[in-house]
Structures are given as structure tokens and as C-alpha cells.
Amino acid sequence: MVARGIASWPHASMAVAGSSLGGFYATHVAETRGCRAVLLNPAVNPARDLAKYIGEQTAWHDPSERFLFEPGFVDELRALEHGPVARPDDYLAIIAKGDEVLDWREMTGRYPGARIKLLEGGDHALSDFDTHMQDMMDFLDLA
């Protein structure tokens, strides 16, 4: 769906941004389209990490809402995996050592050569997101 939506975008001047699983998807788009990406505490191996949740799950935002996480979803994630990033200069990753969901060492290791802003403390949600806006704008030449 995303690929269809951005098919006509000018890839040389576009950029993507994503947080957590969105960072994984943003990496896929950046690698396949040759664009820049800003990643916020990006998931680096969601197929591995989410495989243990196959089956019926409870929505985090509403415990009364349930959904089925199917094995095929893990296969779909695996199909979007890439090796080392082809153009590390096209990436800015903002990573919090205090992320309670993902390991900062794995995140930084996934993007060798990329611009990494490694935060002492912090959390998965990057609750101080607004303090990083200028870095993102500068990286994307939008300032």
C-alpha cells in the first residue's frame, strides 16, 4: 500500500520517518527507493521479536479489543528485511539508551556509518521528541 502511494513521488528529494516498527518500514522504503530516512528507536528485527505473539492478542490501547496476529504477518516482515544499509549517509537515527522495548545496542549496530544521535536515558516513546525536531529538520535540509 505504501509502495503504491509513493510510486510517483520524486525519490531523489523525498524522505521518510518512522518510529519503532515504523522505523523498520522507513528503512525498507529508504533502501528500495533511495531516499533519506529519520528513524526514532527503530525496530531492527521485528520478525524475530514479534513471532512470539502469534495468536490472539489484546490491543494495548484498549484491553477489550482483541485481534489475531497471524504467522503470515511474520513472513511479511521477514520479506522486508535488508542487509546493511546501502547509503548510511541517508539515515539519521535517534536512539534512546533508556528504551524499555528495544535494545539500543542492536539499534545502533543496525546502522553503521549512519548519523546516530544516542540519548542517555529516554524511553521508547521518545517523550522528549520536540527537543529533537531541529536535528531532524537540519538533517532533511528543511530548516
pLDDT digits (tens, 9 = 90+) for 74-118: 999 999 999 999 999 999 999 999 999 999 999 999 999 999 999
Q: How far is CA 135 from CA 22, 92, 140, in A?
A: 19, 9, 9
Domain check: are 98 and 37 in the same one? yes
- The answer to whether the beta carbons of residues 84 and 29 sit under 8 Å apart is no
Kindly report the average pLDDT of the chain as a whole number. Answer: 95
Rounded distance between C-alpha atoms, residue 123 and residue 86, angstroms: 28
Domain check: are 91 and 134 in the same one? yes
Domain check: are 40 and 62 in the same one? no
Q: What is the pLDDT of residue 87?
A: 97
Confidence check: pLDDT of 58 > 80: yes
**Number of other residues whose CB lies within 10 A of the CB of residue 91:** 24
Q: What percent of the chain has pLDDT over 70?
A: 99
Contacts of 120 (CB under 8 A, 6+ apart): 97, 98
CATH number where 41 lies: 3.40.50.1820
**Residue 94: domain span:** 2-45+81-139
Mean pLDDT value across residues 17-39: 97
Q: What phi and psi values does residue 37 have, to the nearest 5 degrees?
A: -145, 140
Domain boundary among 80, 101, 130: 80
Q: Is 36 exposed, middle or buried (0-12, 13-18, 19+ CB in 10 A)?
A: buried
Confidence check: pLDDT of 143 > 80: no
pLDDT band for position 11 (cuts 50, 70, 90): confident
Rounded distance between C-alpha atoms, residue 62 and residue 92, angstroms: 33
Mean pLDDT value across residues 48-55: 97
pLDDT band for position 60 (cuts 50, 70, 90): confident
